[in-house]
């Protein structure tokens, strides 16, 4: 009997493939012990290297072949292992086994990514984020390959190569890297107006997340749930981060790309390493077959979302990411996702974007991973057994025994054999499809602006301002005036005020002609309505020699509330307090910067050293400009006084609040103070 799948099944399977080279004798790949690894075999000490030096040849050849093609999109990514636990049975809607029994735990592997940039690009690019999850279920791998934005740029898969060509660095000079602020991208947008809704999201704060741990995930495409009776529901998948949805500001994003281009991966890695496991709840929106045409949008159109207020999100389980990878290449780079990896009870719809995706993913893995056996790579193997008549190919690892590799056969009793639906055989939902073969788009896909307007209507004032700023930045970087003008004309269809403000910033004169009429609002779309928690937020404590000894108790109280404390001073190592107590400096002002933190705490008086005097002021001013909470005590308030910041929103001093720690924690949970004068 095969062992039952549990939360640890994947880890156990991977254990067979892990190798630890520590304390071992060095060998060649053939297992031959090596006596020397620093000098190639030469004809005399100063002579040429000999061709017979097999050790040199093997080592160099392997090195020469270390690189594989990066993903054509989503090249820059980072991943972690975890588990998914079901809250309630979904048997009414789907027969998928991992969604039947509450408490069932399924191992998962999740890769987060940016879309446009190459493998080494900065992680704070303005871009959608990939959010791809592989569930290793007892019925095979199920991949939920989503993004952190619920809609997409295009409606039909055939346009994807055009979109990506327009997005990527321009071909004549390969500039700019990991950025949409250039002519070809915006030329594509203006001339492919189905992108209107997605571009609103891409210009919003969603495109510059604070952390992978603070993003929603969306399956984007419309899938089907099918239950044991064969009844189908249309379904959209959502991941909801327990820490809420939060972003950085654009100036911060740009600086972060320089100060720490690994900001997001480091944040994820450190959170998991320190036991602060990221959590996401899985939600589903479901629509009955009979209601397919009930909405004022086509539910198969990937440029549309299903407003949560109209189709509620049912929360069905929680994913916890609890283990970092052991080796980024073996796991994160070699993992191969495919939205076509489904299990019984989950099926496709005619969503034309999804249909295009169903071809592309296997195809791209074939070139990226060098042949048809990538399913055998440890990270991609299902945890349940797999058997068929597929054979051979580059890098084949399985040793299929026996003489039979075809079906039907008599020599192996006609096995491996397909099994009935009742025994777990996958059957496709028998949707009736009747139509002419045409290259066309349905009339019902033609409204490109109503939901873009709804998104705009749903934003808070600061969010709206950020969108205006983003359009102004991106279009301001375009060289062609005509491109800017076309985009402004396009967004006139979204909102006249938005278009006018962007036009003003770009020095374009426009006539307000198309007045959008959609007044719909979906509060779920605004990040201002998201969960607010202080947990895992990073506080930079600016501290210098002679600090007040009581500071240590305050820092402990802040830590007890779930925040992460890091000290910044003018030198590394021990800093001595006035009463002799010691604090370890984690950073100096040259290795740390306010953009790396969520909040700043000024804990030493101004002027204790010349460096502190100068650098602390710079640190605080920048945090203030990025709307971050700032606190000061033990005479640190002197600095805030000097900078004229006392009394501003989100600025906490001992004098202004009764309970300093409580007020600071509340401010940290608030994330940013947009109503601050900057
Ligand atoms: Fe992808 N996409 N995509 N995509 N996608 C890839 O597959 C593609 C789309 C998404 O971490 C590629 O393995 C087409 C939507 C993620 O490994 C490729 C179309 C959504 C990842 C591909 C889309 C996604 C990919 C490149 C339009 C959100 C990274 C490397 C029809 C639901 C997965 C690879 C990882 C990766 C094709 C549109 C999400 C080329 C043709 C919509 C998260 O196959």
CA of 60 to the centre of ligand 1 (A): 34
Q: Give the total number of structural domains in the chain.
A: 1
Ligand 1 atom nearest the C-alpha of 157 is 31
Q: Residue 616 in contact with residue 585, Cβ under 8 Å?
A: no
Check if 167 has its Cβ closer than 6 Å to any atom of ligand 1: no
Summarised one tens digit per residue, pLDDT across range 232-254 is 999 999 999 999 999 999 999 99
71 annotated as a binding-site residue: yes
Q: Could you tell me if residue 60 is inside a domain?
A: no
C-alpha distances in Å from residue 242, one per residue of 64, 81, 271, 659: 44, 17, 14, 27
Check if 352 has its Cβ closer than 6 Å to any atom of ligand 1: no
Q: Could you tell me if residue 544 is inside a domain?
A: yes
Which helix (H) or strand (E) element contains residue 9?
Answer: helix 9-15
Q: Phi and psi dihedrals of 270, rounded to 5? A: -70, -35
Q: Which long-range contacts (CB under 8 A, 24 or more apart) does 182-185 make?
A: 182/477, 182/478, 183/478, 183/479, 183/480, 183/483
CA of 620 to the centre of ligand 1 (A): 40
Average pLDDT over residues 82-97: 98
Average pLDDT over residues 616-628: 97
pLDDT at position 657, please?
A: 63
CA of 338 to the centre of ligand 1 (A): 8
Q: And the tokens for 6?
A: 């549990």
Detail the DSSP E strand segments found in 127-226. Answer: 129-137, 140-147, 217-218, 223-226
Q: Phi and psi dihedrals of 159, rounded to 5? A: -90, -5
pLDDT at position 610, please?
A: 86
Sign of the four-CA dihedral 83, 563, 621, 617: negative
**Residue with CA nearest ligand 1 atom 43:** 130
Q: What percent of the chain has pLDDT over 70?
A: 99
What SS3 state is found at 156?
A: coil
429 annotated as a binding-site residue: no
CA 364, 176, 154 angle in degrees (round to 5)?
Answer: 50
Q: And the tokens for 663?
A: 């007020």
For 491, half-sphere exposure in the C-beta direction (CA atoms, 13 angstrom radius) is 27
Q: Phi and psi dihedrals of 600, rounded to 5? A: -125, 140
Among 147, 148, 260, 324, the one annotated catalytic: 147
pLDDT at position 515, please?
A: 76
Beta bridge partners of 258: none
Q: Residue 109 in contact with residue 133, Cβ under 8 Å?
A: yes
Q: Could you tell me if residue 172 is inside a domain?
A: no
What proportions of the chain, in percent to the nearest 5, are helix, strand and coil? 30, 15, 50
C-beta atoms surrounding 19 within 10 Å: 8
111 annotated as a binding-site residue: yes
pLDDT at position 265, please?
A: 98
**Residue with CA nearest ligand 1 atom 14:** 357
Q: Could you tell me if residue 629 is inside a domain?
A: yes
CA of 73 to the centre of ligand 1 (A): 7
C-alpha distances in Å from residue 429, one per residue of 221, 286, 350, 421: 17, 16, 12, 12
Check if 109 has its Cβ closer than 6 Å to any atom of ligand 1: no
Q: Please report which confidence band the pLDDT of residue 80 belongs to, taking 50, 70 and 90 as the band edges.
A: very high
Check if 353 has its Cβ closer than 6 Å to any atom of ligand 1: yes
What CATH number is given to the structural domain containing 588?
A: 3.40.50.880
160 annotated as a binding-site residue: yes
Residue 368 falls in which region: left (phi positive, over 0), alpha (psi -120 to 50) or beta:
alpha
Name the residue range of residue 566's domain: 538-670
Average pLDDT over residues 25-29: 97
Detail the DSSP E strand segments found in 148-242. Answer: 217-218, 223-226, 232-241
Q: Phi and psi dihedrals of 115, rounded to 5? A: -95, -45
Average pLDDT over residues 264-271: 98
Q: Is the pLDDT assigned to residue 611 strictly greater than 90?
A: no
Q: Please report which confidence band the pLDDT of residue 518 belongs to, taking 50, 70 and 90 as the band edges.
A: confident
Check if 324 has its Cβ closer than 6 Å to any atom of ligand 1: no
First-to-last CA distance in the chain?
Answer: 67
Average pLDDT over residues 457-484: 98
Average pLDDT over residues 587-610: 93
Beta bridge partners of 600: 540, 630
Q: What is the per-residue DSSP string for 579-603?
A: TS-EEEE-EETTT--GGG-SEEEE-
Check if 160 has its Cβ closer than 6 Å to any atom of ligand 1: yes
Pick the closest to residue 327 from 275, 376, 279, 379 (CA basis): 379
Residue 374 falls in which region: left (phi positive, over 0), alpha (psi -120 to 50) or beta:
alpha
C-alpha distances in Å from residue 85, one per residue of 268, 279, 425: 20, 11, 24
Q: Cα separation of 263 and 276, whole Å?
A: 17
Q: And the tokens for 183?
A: 């002519």
Q: Could you tell me if residue 270 is inside a domain?
A: no
CA of 653 to the centre of ligand 1 (A): 48
Q: Cα separation of 105 and 439, whole Å?
A: 44
Among 74, 81, 375, 671, the one annotated catalytic: 74
Q: Please report which confidence band the pLDDT of residue 1 belongs to, taking 50, 70 and 90 as the band edges.
A: very low
Q: What is the per-residue DSSP string for 264-316?
A: HHHHHHHHHHTT---EEEEEEEEEEGGGTT-SSS-TT-TT----TTTSPPEEE
**Residue with CA nearest ligand 1 atom 23:** 357
Q: Residue 108 in contact with residue 136, Cβ under 8 Å?
A: yes
**Mean pLDDT score of the chain:** 96
CA of 76 to the centre of ligand 1 (A): 13
Check if 340 has its Cβ closer than 6 Å to any atom of ligand 1: no
Summarised one tens digit per residue, pLDDT across range 154-187 is 999 999 999 999 999 999 999 999 999 999 999 9
Q: Phi and psi dihedrals of 18, rounded to 5? A: -75, 145
Q: Could you tell me if residue 645 is inside a domain?
A: yes
Q: Could you tell me if residue 295 is inside a domain?
A: no
Verify cis geometry, omega within 30 degrees of 0, for the bond prior to 408: yes
Q: Is the pLDDT assigned to residue 530 strictly greater than 80?
A: yes
Q: Cα separation of 46 and 143, whole Å?
A: 57
Check if 129 has its Cβ closer than 6 Å to any atom of ligand 1: no
Q: Cα separation of 112 and 99, whole Å?
A: 23
Q: What is the per-residue DSSP string for 379-401?
A: TT--SS----S----TT------
Summarised one tens digit per residue, pLDDT across range 357-373 is 999 999 999 999 999 99
Q: Residue 85 in contact with residue 105, Cβ under 8 Å?
A: yes
**Residue with CA nearest ligand 1 atom 18:** 361
361 annotated as a binding-site residue: yes
For 187, half-sphere exposure in the C-beta direction (CA atoms, 13 angstrom radius) is 15
What SS3 state is found at 339?
A: coil
Would residue 493 show up in a list of annotated catalytic residues for this protein?
no
Check if 379 has its Cβ closer than 6 Å to any atom of ligand 1: no
Q: And the tokens for 418?
A: 């397909």
Ligand 1 atom nearest the C-alpha of 111 is 11
CA of 361 to the centre of ligand 1 (A): 7
224 annotated as a binding-site residue: no
Would residue 147 show up in a list of annotated catalytic residues for this protein?
yes
Average pLDDT over residues 204-230: 98
Beta bridge partners of 321: 82
Ligand 1 atom nearest the C-alpha of 147 is 28
What SS3 state is found at 231?
A: coil
Check if 619 has its Cβ closer than 6 Å to any atom of ligand 1: no
Q: Residue 215 in contact with residue 129, Cβ under 8 Å?
A: yes
Q: Residue 656 in contact with residue 667, Cβ under 8 Å?
A: no
Residue with tokens 């740390």: 592
Interface predicted TM-score (ipTM): 0.98
Q: Is the pLDDT assigned to residue 119 strictly greater than 80?
A: yes
C-alpha distances in Å from residue 415, one per residue of 400, 584, 662: 13, 66, 67
Sorted by sequence, the CB contacts under 8 Å of residue 46 that are 6+ apart come out as: none
Average pLDDT over residues 509-514: 79
pLDDT at position 609, please?
A: 84
Which helix (H) or strand (E) element contains residue 53?
Answer: none
Q: Could you tell me if residue 597 is inside a domain?
A: yes
Q: Please compute Rg for the chain using Cα positions.
A: 28
């Amino acid at each position: 009997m095969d062992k039952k799948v549990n939360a640890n099944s994947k880890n156990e399977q991977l254990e067979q493939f892990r190798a630890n080279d520590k304390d071992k004798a060095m060998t060649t790949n053939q297992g031959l012990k090596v006596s020397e690894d620093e000098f190639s075999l030469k004809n005399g000490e100063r002579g040429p290297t000999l061709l017979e030096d097999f050790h040199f040849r093997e080592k160099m050849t392997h090195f020469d072949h270390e690189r594989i093609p990066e993903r054509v999109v989503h090249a820059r990514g980072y991943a972690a292992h975890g588990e998914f636990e079901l809250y309630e049975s979904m048997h009414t809607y789907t027969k998928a086994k991992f969604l039947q029994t509450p408490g069932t735990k399924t191992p998962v592997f999740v890769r987060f990514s940016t879309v446009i940039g190459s493998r080494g690009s900065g992680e704070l690019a303005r871009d959608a984020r990939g959010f791809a999850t592989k569930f290793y279920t007892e019925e095979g791998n199920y991949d939920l390959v989503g993004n952190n934005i619920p809609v997409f740029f295009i409606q039909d898969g055939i346009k994807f190569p055009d979109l990506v060509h327009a997005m990527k660095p321009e071909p004549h000079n390969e500039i700019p890297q990991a950025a949409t602020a250039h002519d070809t991208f915006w030329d594509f947008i203006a001339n492919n107006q189905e992108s209107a809704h997605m571009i609103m999201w891409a210009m919003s704060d969603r495109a510059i997340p604070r952390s992978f741990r603070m993003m929603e995930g969306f399956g984007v495409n419309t899938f089907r749930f099918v239950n044991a009776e064969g009844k189908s529901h249309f379904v959209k998948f959502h991941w909801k981060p327990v820490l809420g949805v939060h972003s950085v500001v654009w100036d911060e994003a740009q600086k972060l790309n320089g100060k720490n281009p690994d900001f997001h991966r480091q944040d994820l890695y450190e959170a998991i390493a320190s036991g602060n496991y990221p959590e996401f709840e899985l939600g589903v929106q479901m629509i009955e077959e009979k209601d397919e045409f009930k909405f004022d949008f086509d539910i198969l159109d990937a440029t549309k979302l299903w407003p949560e207020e109209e189709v509620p999100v049912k929360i069905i389980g929680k994913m916890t990411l609890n283990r970092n990878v052991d080796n980024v290449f073996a796991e994160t780079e070699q993992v191969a996702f495919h939205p076509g990896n489904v299990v019984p009870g989950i099926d496709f719809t005619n969503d034309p974007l999804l249909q295009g995706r169903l071809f592309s993913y296997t195809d791209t893995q074939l070139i990226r991973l060098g042949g048809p056996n990538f399913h055998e790579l440890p990270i991609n193997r299902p945890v349940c057994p797999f058997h068929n008549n597929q054979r051979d190919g580059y890098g084949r690892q399985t040793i299929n025994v026996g003489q039979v590799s075809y079906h039907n056969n008599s020599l192996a009793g006609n096995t491996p054999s397909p099994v009935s639906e009742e025994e777990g055989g996958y059957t496709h939902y028998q949707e009736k499809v009747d139509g002419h073969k045409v290259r066309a788009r349905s009339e019902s896909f033609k409204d490109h602006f109503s939901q873009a307007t709804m998104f705009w209507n749903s934003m808070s004032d600061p969010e709206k301002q950020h969108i205006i700023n983003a359009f102004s930045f991106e279009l301001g970087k375009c060289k062609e005036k005509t491109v800017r003008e076309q985009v402004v004309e396009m967004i006139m269809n979204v909102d006249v005020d938005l278009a006018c403000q962007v036009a003003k910033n770009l020095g374009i004169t426009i006539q307000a002609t198309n007045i959008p009429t959609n007044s719909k609002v979906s509060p779920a779309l605004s990040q201002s309505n998201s969960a607010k928690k202080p947990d895992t937020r990073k506080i930079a404590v600016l501290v210098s020699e002679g600090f007040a000894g009581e500071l240590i108790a305050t820092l402990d109280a802040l830590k007890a509330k779930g925040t992460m404390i890091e000290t910044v001073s003018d030198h590394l190592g021990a800093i001595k307090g006035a009463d002799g107590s010691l604090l370890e400096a984690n950073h100096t002002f040259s290795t740390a910067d306010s953009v790396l933190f969520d909040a700043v705490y000024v804990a030493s008086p101004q002027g204790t050293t010349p460096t502190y005097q100068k650098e602390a002021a710079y640190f605080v001013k920048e945090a203030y400009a990025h709307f971050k909470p700032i606190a000061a005590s033990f005479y640190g308030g002197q600095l805030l006084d000097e900078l004229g910041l006392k009394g501003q929103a989100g600025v906490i001093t001992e004098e202004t609040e009764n309970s300093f720690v409580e007020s600071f924690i509340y401010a940290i949970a608030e994330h940013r103070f947009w109503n601050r004068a900057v």
